[in-house]
Amino acid sequence: MSGVLPPRAGVTLVVVVAAALLSSAQTPQRTADAGGFPAPTPDLERGRTVYVLSSCHFCHGVDLTGAQMGATDLMHSPLIAGDQNGNLIGPVVRAGKPNLQTAMPSYPDLTPQEIADLAAYVHYLRRQGRYRELMMDAEEQGDAHAGETYFNANCAACHAKSADLAGVAARYPGAALRARTLRPSDDPAPGGTDRTAAGRLQHGKLLERYTPADVRNVVAFLREPLR
Amino acid sequence: MMIMTRREFGKLVAAAPLAAGAAQQQRPLYAINGVGIGLETFSFHDLPPAGDPRLIPTIISNMREIGIGECEIMSGHIEPWPTIATGWWVQSRRAPGFQQLRDDARRWRLSVPMSYYTNIRKQFEDAGLRIYLYNVNFNETFTDEERDKTFEAAKALGAAGFSSSTVISEARRLVPFVERHKMFVAMHNHNNLVDPDQFATPQSFETALAMSPYFKATLDIGHFVAGNNDPVAFIKKHHDRTVNIHVRDRKRNNGPNRPFGQGDTPIAEMLRLIRDEKYPIRCYLEYEYGSFRSSVEEVKACLEYCRRVLA
């Protein structure tokens, strides 16, 4: 690795990744360090390394919450929602934001791989945080009609209430339906069939973009009996 | 005016413990080879949140563990809410709920008894530590009454004066306050070169320094270099008006923070210049590069770097 990582960082990375892997092999408990919790996969841990060694966490938060010093709230930033593999994040990170009151530094030396790793980690953090945030809204009532409109625009290419989702409300009572809607799979690692991989990707994108009302409405639509 | 003369500064550093080892555990370090050393509490990125009763004890414990005796403490570490609530970042003023937060902060400042601050001062002094600068980011959301109260707070903390990330337009408003309270405000720079109201260039500092003898400089040498300025030239010209420098290492062209010695900032040259010329300028460590280690461990590493270059 080059770019943002200073000479000792290569060693640090190896040690950190090795420690993370060793730790995960020995115990399911994860121990936080100054850059938050180790990521669940080696790929994401590479991204965490870029995120932390570039000091992103000081302004944007170790888990994207508590942005400070005028930094953008990455948990809700539309730019992050629209990013694919760093295509929007990369140019901002490389150029920095020198005209802010407290400027965001530029990172022109980041390699394309480091940008991709960084972006993957930011999306991972955002999905974790958005899941927590949207689950806290579980008691709210939604508008089933608006949910149907959302479903038809965003979900109907893969799902139908009369087919794969038949009886889904009964299978997932209470907050479980909301949880399943937000995150059909708990496994952040790649794998599975092409279809499940594509589904995971699409659900991840949706999770980054849902408004609280979107989720309330879709859940209300799924709970509504078939007409 | 409470800023030290060269002679007074010499007495301070002569009285400070210089040796490493067991004695350092007993008495914190205030200087290395005649160069005043301290830290900016911003360096502690892993503190309890603002308002948490563990916050001040943690800062004190961190300083004791590192062995540094003097600090510039952020208002966000003194007041019971984060600095974001007091209006410095223009972006934060647009956040929902900001006005309520700001009004709450103002009410608190105007009503809190001075014993709140003297109690914090006592905690530091009981641990053998000193708050030398109160870091308050004065801005246009302050009322005059609030500015007055903030000066009173700094005195109660035992601070000699302020370090402030402020703007030139606010400096103009502060002139009657520094003169009435006979207390200095040292302007702290970032590296925004576009907004002429920001402190980022030698000219911006000189504009403020011309307004009042109570205006000084807290030169952040890392940000200064990131803005492609020369901190050595600045100090040679303005050493008599510079209270302290923030020691950090950044790359030029708005580049990132780096571990000491790995960026473009001439830290070693600056420290040796201050030592050799016996400038009464304090050097406050500011840790802001990325690391998986704790803030305490990294500030220790920063201090070790300074020890090496000043040996």
Chain A residues within 8 A (CB-CB) of chain B?
A: 4, 6-8, 12, 16, 33-35, 52-58, 68-70, 96, 98-103, 105-108
Helix (H, G, I), strand (E, B) or coil at B128: coil
| A107 and A23 within one domain | yes
* Residue B127 counted as domain residue: yes
Number of domains in chain A: 2
Q: How far is A93 from chain B (nearest CA, A)?
A: 11
| Amino acid at site A21 | L
Cα separation, A63 vs A212, whole angstroms: 20
pLDDT of amino acid B11: 58
* Residue A1 counted as domain residue: no
Do B193 and A98 count as a contact with CB atoms less than 8 A apart? yes
* Residue A194 counted as domain residue: yes
* Residue B251 counted as domain residue: yes
Q: How far is A16 from chain B (nearest CA, A)?
A: 9
Q: Which residue positions in chain B have pLDDT lower than 70?
A: 1-26
| A118 and A44 within one domain | yes
* Residue A107 counted as domain residue: yes
Give me the residue from B194, B198, B255 closest to A105, CB to CB. Answer: B255
Q: What is the DSSP letter of B186?
A: E
- pLDDT per residue over A113-159, tens digit each? 999 999 999 999 999 999 999 999 866 789 999 999 999 999 999 99
Angle at B162 between CA B157 and CA B168, to 5 degrees: 155
ipTM of this complex: 0.89
| A197 and A156 within one domain | yes
Give me the residue from B45, B198, B254 closest to A96, CB to CB. Answer: B254
| A94 and A58 within one domain | yes
Give me the residue from A52, A57, A103 closest to B191, CB to CB. Answer: A103
- pLDDT per residue over B61-88, tens digit each? 999 999 999 999 999 999 998 777 777 7
- Domain of residue B87, CATH code: 3.20.20.150
Cα separation, A130 vs A113, whole angstroms: 25
Number of domains in chain B: 1
**Residues in A touching B262 (Cβ below 8 Å):** 6-7
| A120 and A45 within one domain | yes
**Whether the Cβ atoms of residue A159 and residue A165 lie closer than 8 Å to each other:** yes
N- to C-terminal Cα separation, chain A: 57
Q: How far is A34 from chain B (nearest CA, A)?
A: 5
Residue A68: pLDDT band (50, 70, 90) is confident
Q: Which of A135, A169, A186 is the last residue of a domain?
A: A135
Give me the residue from B88, B92, B292 closest to A12, CB to CB. Answer: B292
pLDDT of amino acid A226: 80
Q: What is the DSSP letter of A136?
A: T
Residue A191: pLDDT band (50, 70, 90) is low
**Whether the Cβ atoms of residue B214 and residue B241 lie closer than 8 Å to each other:** no
* Residue B7 counted as domain residue: no
Average pLDDT rounded to a whole number, residues A173-202: 78
Which domain does A182 fall in, by range? Answer: 144-223
| A148 and A131 within one domain | no
Whether the per-residue pLDDT at A15 is higher than 50: the answer is no
* Residue B311 counted as domain residue: no
pTM over 0.80: yes
**Residues in A touching B193 (Cβ below 8 Å):** 98
Of residues B192, B251, B194, B241, the one with CA closest to residue B219: B241
Q: Which of A135, A155, A179 is the last residue of a domain?
A: A135
* Residue B104 counted as domain residue: yes
Q: CA torsion sign, B21 to B25 to B27 to B28? A: positive
Do A100 and B91 count as a contact with CB atoms less than 8 A apart? yes
| A126 and A15 within one domain | yes
CA A60 vs CA A70, A126, B235: distances in Å: 9, 11, 33
pLDDT of amino acid A99: 87
CB atoms under 10 Å from CB of B309, counted, come to 17
Beta strand residue intervals within chain A, DSSP E = none
* A4, closest residue in chain B (CA to CA): B256
Which residue's entry shows tokens 């590069």? B289
pLDDT of amino acid A12: 44
pLDDT of amino acid B10: 58
Cα separation, B102 vs B123, whole angstroms: 28
**Residues in A touching B190 (Cβ below 8 Å):** 101-103
pLDDT of amino acid B127: 97
| A110 and A169 within one domain | no
Of residues B260, B245, B247, the one with CA closest to residue B298: B260
pLDDT of amino acid A185: 73
| A125 and A28 within one domain | yes
Q: Choosing among A65, A102, A118, which should be mutated to test the B contact, i.e. which has the most B CBs within 10 A? A: A102
Do B254 and A102 count as a contact with CB atoms less than 8 A apart? no
* Residue B299 counted as domain residue: no
Q: What are phi and psi of B52, to 5 degrees?
A: -75, 130
Chain B residues within 8 A (CB-CB) of chain A?
A: 45-46, 82-84, 88-92, 165, 190-195, 198, 226, 250-251, 253-259, 262, 288-295
* Residue A3 counted as domain residue: no
Q: Choosing among B91, B199, B299, which should be mutated to test the A contact, i.e. which has the most A CBs within 10 A? A: B91
| A18 and A108 within one domain | yes
Q: How far is B32 from chain A (nearest CA, A)?
A: 27
Q: Which of A86, A115, A135 is the last residue of a domain?
A: A135
Both tokens assigned to B236? 């040679």
* Residue B132 counted as domain residue: yes
- In chain A, what is the greatest distance between 2 CA atoms, to the nearest angstrom? 64
* Residue B302 counted as domain residue: no
Both tokens assigned to A112? 């394309």
Instruction: Count contacts between A and B (CB, < 8 Å).
Output: 89
Which domain does B85 fall in, by range? Answer: 26-293
Do B191 and A6 count as a contact with CB atoms less than 8 A apart? no
Contacts of A174 (CB under 8 A, 6+ apart): none
- pLDDT per residue over B82-131, tens digit each? 777 777 777 778 777 889 989 999 999 999 999 999 999 999 999 999 99
Of residues B45, B39, B37, the one with CA closest to residue B288: B45
pLDDT of amino acid A200: 83
**Residues in A touching B74 (Cβ below 8 Å):** none
Q: How far is A159 from chain B (nearest CA, A)?
A: 37
* Residue A2 counted as domain residue: no
| A113 and A20 within one domain | yes
Whether the per-residue pLDDT at A10 is higher than 50: the answer is no
CB atoms under 10 Å from CB of A113, counted, come to 14
Give me the residue from A4, A12, A106 closest to B254, CB to CB. Answer: A106
Do A105 and B256 count as a contact with CB atoms less than 8 A apart? yes
| A160 and A108 within one domain | no
Instruction: Say what angle helices A212-223 and A175-182 make with each other, to 10 degrees.
Output: 120
